[in-house]
Structure 1
Amino acid sequence: MASEEVVDLEHQNHNFHFENGPAAAIFSKATLPVTLKFKDVIYKIKIEKPGKFVKAAGKSEERTILKGISGVVSPGEILAMLGPSGSGKTTLLTALGGRLGGRLAGSVSYNGRPFSNAMKRNTGFVTQDDVLYPHLTVTETLVYTALLRLPRVLSKAEKTAHAEAVIAQLGLTRCRNSIIGGPLLRGISGGERKRVSIGQEMLINPSLLFLDEPTSGLDSTTAQRIVSTLWELANGARTVVMTIHQPSSRLFYMFHKVLLLSDGNPLYFGKGSAAVDYFSSVGFSPAVAMNPADLLLDLANGVSTGENGEDQAAVKQTLVAAYKTHLSEIVESELTDCSAEPPVAGDDRTLSRWSNTWVNQFSVLFRRGIKERKHESFAGIKVAQVLIVAIVAGLLWWQSSTSHLQDQVGLMFFYSAFWGFYPLFQAIFTFPQERLMLEKERASGMYRLSSYFMALTVGDLPMEMVLPTMFYTITYWMAGLKPTAGHFFWGLLGLLYGVLCAQGLGLAIGAAVMNLKSATVFASVIMLTFQLASGFFVQNVPIFIRWIKYISISQYTFKILVAAQYKVGETYPCGGGGGEVCLVEDFPAIKPVGLRGVSTAIGAMAVMIVGYRLIAYLALTRVGALKK
């Protein structure tokens, strides 16, 4: 198929038209109604048994999470999956959403076809936790999502119009210019955050919408508003599947279908309004008038409303047997009788995997990254920390001279040490903190991992340079180092070069370990080793361990800083008051690193700058949903 036809296919697949306003038809009806069928879905995991010190080889047990679950959801219907914690609700939702790998058996089909790139373009998935950038406003969050997820055939103005339409539809106009906020940052309310998360998925006008606990942590009124919104979306010929823990009776009767799970077993599948009658027919009628959802959850936990003291396991076994006897054939017939719908538009062989080009993805991610991370990079406490240390250092080294060469060399080493650790630990937090966002957006197919990585790397460069430049400028002139532009700027470039190396090492460690505590310990050991081997503390390093200095960021940074301040053949007063002078390159703290071979140091650090970032990227490609 020609490229023009692929573009037309994408345009039809999203059904974005503008005859009656910028986004008049977004919420009226789904582009392509989808019937979701799942039959005998079984999911198993292996649990490793730990040994005394390490995992016991070959000792593992298999646990079945989902035990043959079937059902069908048609366009215009909401399926609510109920059950106690650990019943398998989220696992099943993830499997139906095409996001669960591993040992999954059974069949899941979308209009008779398996999950595909074309289906992915028509599917929205709202996770239980609202993974959003705290410093972006509601409008910025939705606009950036629109720019990344909507097809390239739409202009920036049209994508922005779609975001505005979502804001109006979901009742977010009042808080449109408010920041999202977080645990330590005041922002919008929990209900508004949930609606923003739903809005991100609604931007693509999905035919199939999955939601994991959309009312979790919300008050009854806000929960009612959320489910009412979902009910309106379902009325537009969309298929909505959600998990919910303990809905009120008002919410329960808004569900078209209910699936009750207990320990991975189905106990009920059918109309929500018929659930109480079914359980009454098999001997589990409520003793008093109660919320149907409470009855279902009691039964899923093995708590019968009949005789007191009845064994919970026996109740569950009775309900599982009753399902197989009374409901399984009904569900099977519904799966068989459900009329065939048109297949999902788009052929995976011709449909581009990505909605936008690499350059467009990079551009949007770069702008979004700058807007979000500038708040963290220039947080008041960080700026104050750097300023205080700079002023204290400037006072300690106040107007030093070559007559106290050891002091000046000590300042050079302090530069390399402080600006080795500081950017290292800042960079370590980057990927572990961004992992949830990456997993969410990558699972939605928003962008390539390479475009994200390059946008983050390039976007951090100017922000990472500001604080060390400010620090160096203050201490340089307070310490009375050589007052010429050449010496100043060469030293500054050397320091910034070292910062880039340390930042790259931090990115690599953070991406490879993905555990902040472990990564911090690992990075501390590495950087301390680099500093010990840099030649400042120990001049006579044994030959069998001398190789460490050749990979030491501290050693190369220290060398460049010293070479920027002093030149070969330069002397310093070394004879007390007798006027005797000595060569700077022979000074004990300088001799191990030397004033020659600066180009070699620059080359080695260039390899590190690229190499560490390449390691970070390769480490990310090996992390589950972050794979390309």
Structure 2
Amino acid sequence: MRKERKMDVDDEQVQVMDLEAQQKKTSESDLPKIQKKAKHPVILKFKDVVYKVKFPSQRKKFFKQTTSSPVRERVILNSISGVVYPGEMLAMLGPSGSGKTTLLTALGGRLGGNLKGSITYDGKPFSNQMKRNTGFVTQDDVLHAHLTVTETLVYTALLRLPNTFTKEQKIGVAEEVIIQMGLTRCKNSIIGGPLLRGVSGGERKRVSIAQEMLIDPSLLFLDEPTSGLDSTTAQRIVSVLWELAQGGRTVVMTIHQPSSRLFYMFHKVLLLSEGNSLYFGSGSHVMDYFESVGYVPSVPMNPADFLLDLANGVSPDESEDIVTVKEKLIVAYKNNIANELKADLREEENEEADHRKEANTEIEKWPTTWWQQYTVLLKRGLRERKHESFNILKIAQVLIVAFIVGLLWWQSKITHLQDQVGLLYFSTGFWGFFPLFDAIFAFPPERMVLAKERSSGMYRLSSYFFARMVSDLPVELILPTVYVIITYFMGGLKRNAASFLYYLFSLLLSIMVSQGLGLALGALVMDLKAATTLGSVLMLTFLLAGGFYVQNIPAFIKWIKYLSILNYNFKLLLGSQFKPGDTYPCDGDTKVCLVEDFPSVRSVGIRGQFVSAIVLVIMFVGYRLIAYFALTRIGVTRKSRTTKSWLLCLD
């Protein structure tokens, strides 16, 4: 057995030598060698990290109503310790649900809730300064699909690099990173998405890494960087990370099932199983360790596959049950590794006190000013959404509806008052639904991008929110104006400038309010199907209570009309065409009647125009405030969020 083991070790050494040659060849041919050294090398230490999640237990209900459900507690991380030095690459392995992503999120300073233990960066706790020096690459490549690679990195550089860099220098840094990450060939290609062809999966992953490399991080975290990639592309990605580590950076990643080529690139390995450590140490010594505790693969195999089998409780000869294997490995880790590791991590009390004092000196939270963030986000938003703002289908929809309306109400006259009132109410309803559903789709698709960028401290939520509002204005204002120009004159409404402008601005104000309602629904629900359903129900209710279809609403439900956007807009549009005291021919043109006594006008009234405008302005502000505060829930770190924290354990 010892002779066979010695041959295996020799084979491993040969593989390592071959791999180093392969890395050199790959980095020289496919990827430019990254020679830039880390400015501030960071030693990452984590000691006795414990993370628990509370969640209500599920209790079945039959015919009897149950009392309040008791709260259960699950340990996601159980006393995890380790240290990673500059120039090292740590790989965290383990089956799904072992706690890899949770631990990575905790080490990256992005995990709130019931987190205990010590996590230090050069002996100091996490701070704004450390946040500026840390890169975090999520498992999913959260990128804007319609931006090119260059645009993506330039906008990120303008937002994340501090004002000690000029604009030209920031753009230069982006161009340098493009070269370093081997993205030159695809720099002018769009990122793409599920339904939009763009760069390849490996190139998308390199763009995600490049975004973090813009700030020249000394500490880099990556969650499953090889997920969904073929072995060759995965090897290229890890080769890039290996080069980054060689530059004095500290690299920590989770990885599910790496190939043997990738495994031997890791300087250190942390093996997790159900939140417990089974191994921490050098990747080249991992097989020797498990042999020493009685587990040797029965056939030559990928070390990563062997480790995952053990983490799942599967012994090489399958002679032991799953629970026994896991318990033996946990005990072996505590007896052979844990105590020695904790001794190495122990720090002097006076040194910790000094670190706490130094940690009190914080740098500015934001790298750029509010106005800089707003202008960059506005340009990026206009660039990203130009394909949807004035797409042919949307323009055709508005134009076709406008001309059909104009033809149906062709040169309607005051003698047909019902027709003119119907035209006003149709415009009210159409421009209540149209902007509502457009706005509902504003925030949910960008949720992941917003969460990622806010977690990185890239910009203030207020600058993003205002930039998003302004970038939507072109489609929200120009298309309705075109609609009004077509329908107003074809429909035979009052031909004077005052009435036209009153009509136009009243409709635009109502559109902005409907848009605000859509933004609030989208931000609150964050589910397109549910938000669309809720928006349809609300707007249909407002439509029915708007005063046109039902003039005599029962008293017990009459209060709905005072919440209806369409009710106030209908009143304003009526006021643009009719004034108190105006008359129209009635009873076969033999006499005249007051317009305000007409049934569909009397229920809404012409008077009180100013009050209606004020109410719409209040709604305009109120709905947007609701949307803003709803967005504050997204991307907030270091706060206790039981439900979201529970989801982190499903890695």
- Aligned amino acid, residue 220 of structure 2: L
What are the within-5 Å matches in structure 2 for residues 452-601 of structure 1? 452-576=464-588, 578-601=589-612
Match in the other structure for 1:32: 40
Q: Using CA pairs under 8 Å that are at least 6 residues apart, name the structure with larger relative contact order, 1 or 2.
A: 2
Does the C-alpha gap of structure 1 residues 520 and 55 become closer, same or farther in structure 2, counting only changes over 3 Å?
Answer: farther
CA RMSD of aligned residues (A): 2.5
- Aligned amino acid, residue 546 of structure 2: S
Match of 1:42 among 50, 53, 62: 50
Match in the other structure for 1:331: 341
Q: Secondary structure at the match of 2:248?
A: coil
In the alignment, is residue 296 of structure 1 matched against residue 307 of structure 2? yes
In the alignment, is residue 269 of structure 1 matched against residue 265 of structure 2? no
Q: Secondary structure at the match of 2:636?
A: helix
Match in the other structure for 2:298: 287
In the alignment, is residue 161 of structure 1 matched against residue 172 of structure 2? yes
Does the C-alpha gap of structure 1 residues 626 and 328 become closer, same or farther in structure 2, counting only changes over 3 Å?
Answer: closer
Could you tell me how far 1:287 is from its partner in structure 2?
A: 1.3
Contact 1:213 1:242 in 2 (8 A): yes
What are the within-5 Å matches in structure 2 for residues 329-478 of structure 1? 329-336=339-346, 348-478=360-490
Q: Secondary structure at the match of 1:39?
A: strand
Q: Secondary structure at the match of 1:230?
A: helix
Residues in 2 aligned to 1:55 and 1:528: alpha-carbon distance in whole angstroms = 37
- Aligned amino acid, residue 503 of structure 1: Q
What are the within-5 Å matches in structure 2 for residues 192-271 of structure 1? 192-271=203-282
Residues in 1 aligned to 2:271 and 2:614: alpha-carbon distance in whole angstroms = 63
Match in the other structure for 1:319: 329
- Aligned amino acid, residue 62 of structure 1: E
Residues in 2 aligned to 1:93 and 1:350: alpha-carbon distance in whole angstroms = 24
Q: Secondary structure at the match of 1:81?
A: strand
- Aligned amino acid, residue 359 of structure 1: W
- Aligned amino acid, residue 310 of structure 1: E
Residues in 1 aligned to 2:406 and 2:331: alpha-carbon distance in whole angstroms = 79
Deviating more after overlay: 288-297 vs 90-99: 288-297
Could you tell me how far 1:543 is from its partner in structure 2?
A: 3.1
Q: List gaps (5 residues or longer) in structure 2.
A: 1-31, 640-651
- Aligned amino acid, residue 495 of structure 1: L
Contact 1:420 1:499 in 2 (8 A): yes
Q: Secondary structure at the match of 1:57?
A: coil
Does the C-alpha gap of structure 1 residues 572 and 467 become closer, same or farther in structure 2, counting only changes over 3 Å?
Answer: same
Q: What is the aligned length?
A: 602
Contact 1:81 1:258 in 2 (8 A): yes
Could you tell me how far 1:626 is from its partner in structure 2?
A: 7.8
- Aligned amino acid, residue 614 of structure 1: L
Match in the other structure for 1:64: 75
Deviations along 1:342-363, one digit per CA (max 9) or x if unpaired, are 9799865451111111111111
Query: TM-score normalised to the size of structure 1?
Result: 0.91
What are the within-5 Å matches in structure 2 for residues 86-125 of structure 1? 86-125=97-136
Does the C-alpha gap of structure 1 residues 45 and 371 become closer, same or farther in structure 2, counting only changes over 3 Å?
Answer: same
What are the within-5 Å matches in structure 2 for residues 117-156 of structure 1? 117-156=128-167
Q: Secondary structure at the match of 2:327?
A: helix
- Aligned amino acid, residue 591 of structure 2: E
Residues in 2 aligned to 1:595 and 1:103: alpha-carbon distance in whole angstroms = 59
Residues in 2 aligned to 1:337 and 1:75: alpha-carbon distance in whole angstroms = 19
Could you tell me how far 1:236 is from its partner in structure 2?
A: 1.1
Determine what percentage of the aligned residue pairs are the same residue: 64
Q: List gaps (5 residues or longer) in structure 1.
A: 1-23
Q: Secondary structure at the match of 2:189?
A: coil
Contact 1:211 1:242 in 2 (8 A): yes
Deviations along 1:394-423, one digit per CA (max 9) or x if unpaired, are 333233322322122112111111111121
Residues in 2 aligned to 1:346 and 1:151: alpha-carbon distance in whole angstroms = 22
Residues in 2 aligned to 1:258 and 1:69: alpha-carbon distance in whole angstroms = 13
Could you tell me how far 1:82 is from its partner in structure 2?
A: 0.6
Q: Secondary structure at the match of 2:253?
A: strand
Residues in 2 aligned to 1:283 and 1:392: alpha-carbon distance in whole angstroms = 82
Residues in 2 aligned to 1:215 and 1:344: alpha-carbon distance in whole angstroms = 37
Match in the other structure for 2:93: 82
